């Protein structure tokens, strides 16, 4: 026997002592890593049963669009299954450059840069741009990828209370003429509310800070043509950098950063998450290009998404549920404690509705919730049926 196996390895103590998830599994309430065996737009099959998917970020319902699938198939045949190298070396395809040019044009920016995931886009932007002596300012509800990008950078990090622009103003004012980046979610993924972009622009410009908006949940949802939060407010020229993902409205995986040509050129040569990872696969890249064109050509999808959003929000409110400050297709249903939330999730799951439970550390212990999100392709009947299940279980559990 290897002598190493007989020794105590202190590093693994935390693993052996981590029992919380196993306790929830034993109670039959574990909601995570549920394998989907079949997906057909708004309906998925999990554990052999069809369930209405109310927890996807497929806002425009494009994952099964024939043009998206056909473009992906063609790229697979033309380029193979992967790039087998980084963008910096052998992994750049003409498809990547076509997508970057199309994104820059669509977003009204000089240039764009495609990353392999949306997570890496934030890592690459912040760690690549914020150096020694610089400071990055984060909203306390910013996505984990923003937080981790700040940790990876050699600069300092300051966090301000959610939406508290007075606090941001004070903190920026203390930092003089140093390099400063303010970055926030355009739509906050657990609350469903929209960032105050006009206020952020005003404060950032007052202090000579760059402003970046992460439009992961905004592209395809907000803006005249789905361009995102800055365009929603008509401030696209005032927001310096736009970040986004392809894994939501654009029905694939990957991410992008868009901004001035000089910033993008700098990131191409200084962003480690770009330089040291394999490029976005051909089929995904082609699928995003097709999804972007469908999104522009079929504005009625976004209109249906907003009809569905109002339908669900009004339904929850009329039933007496607390959906917080939701202004978008992300509609959280506040339940309360972790235990009640997992129980409510299980009851909904058994009834045939898939939702996402959100618990600490993502939210405070007494503000646990079920996060629902809508697609343009949900039918009114599906939404009404889901609301009926929420109403029944909400009354039976005492939530309403």
In angstroms, the CA 257 to CA 321 distance is 37
Q: Is 217 a catalytic residue?
A: yes
In angstroms, the CA 203 to CA 206 distance is 5
- Catalytic residue, candidates 56, 153, 189, 373: 189
Q: Is 248 a catalytic residue?
A: yes
In angstroms, the CA 366 to CA 343 distance is 15
Question: Which of 210, 246, 214 lies closest to 114, judged by CA?
Answer: 246
- Catalytic residue, candidates 217, 231, 232, 378: 217
In angstroms, the CA 197 to CA 222 distance is 13
In angstroms, the CA 46 to CA 34 distance is 7
Question: Which of 229, 164, 224 lies closest to 192, judged by CA?
Answer: 229
Concatenated DSSP letters for 329-393? Answer: SEEEEEEESHHHHHHHHHHHHHHTEE-EEE-TTSS-TT-EEEEEE--TT--HHHHHHHHHHHHHH
> Dihedral angle at the C-alpha atoms of 42, 46, 51, 57, nearest 10 degrees?
-40
Q: Is 151 a catalytic residue?
A: no
- Catalytic residue, candidates 248, 249, 252, 378: 248
Active site amino acids: 189, 217, 248
């Amino acid at each position: 026997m290897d002598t190493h196996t007989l020794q105590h390895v202190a590093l693994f103590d935390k693993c052996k002592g981590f029992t919380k998830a196993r306790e929830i599994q034993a109670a039959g309430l574990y909601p995570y890593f549920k394998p989907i065996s079949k997906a057909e737009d708004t309906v998925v099959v999990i554990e052999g049963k069809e369930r209405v998917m109310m927890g996807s970020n497929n806002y425009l319902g494009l994952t099964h669009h024939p043009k998206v699938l056909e473009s992906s198939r063609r790229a697979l045949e033309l380029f193979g299954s992967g790039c087998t190298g980084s963008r910096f070396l052998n992994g750049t395809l003409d498809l990547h450059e076509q997508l970057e040019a199309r994104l820059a044009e669509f977003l009204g920016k000089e240039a764009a840069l495609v990353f392999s995931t949306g997570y890496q886009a934030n890592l690459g932007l912040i760690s690549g741009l914020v150096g020694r002596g610089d400071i990055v300012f984060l909203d306390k509800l910013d996505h984990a990828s923003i937080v981790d990008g700040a940790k990876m950078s050699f600069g300092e990090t300051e966090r301000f209370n959610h939406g508290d622009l007075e606090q941001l103003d004070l903190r920026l004012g203390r930092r003089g003429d140093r390099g400063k980046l303010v970055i926030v979610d355009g739509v906050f993924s657990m609350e469903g509310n929209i960032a105050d972009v006009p206020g952020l622009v005003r404060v950032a410009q007052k202090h000579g800070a760059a402003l970046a908006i992460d439009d992961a949940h905004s592209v395809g949802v907000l803006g005249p043509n789905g361009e995102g939060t800055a365009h929603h407010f008509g401030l696209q020229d005032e927001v310096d950098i736009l970040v986004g993902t392809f894994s939501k409205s654009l029905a694939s995986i990957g991410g992008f950063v868009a901004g001035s040509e000089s910033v993008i050129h700098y990131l191409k040569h200084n962003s480690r998450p770009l330089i040291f990872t394999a490029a976005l696969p051909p089929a995904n890249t082609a699928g995003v290009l097709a999804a972007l064109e469908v999104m522009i050509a079929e504005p009625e999808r976004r209109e249906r998404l907003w009809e569905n959003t109002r339908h669900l929000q009004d339904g929850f409110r009329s039933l007496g549920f607390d959906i917080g400050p939701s202004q978008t297709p992300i509609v959280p249903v506040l339940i309360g404690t972790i235990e009640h939330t997992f129980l409510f999730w299980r009851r909904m799951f058994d009834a045939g509705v898939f939702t996402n439970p959100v618990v600490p550390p993502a939210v405070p212990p007494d503000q646990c919730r079920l996060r629902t999100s809508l697609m343009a392709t949900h039918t009114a009947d599906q939404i009404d049926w889901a609301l009926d299940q929420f109403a029944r279980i909400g009354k039976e559990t005492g939530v309403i």
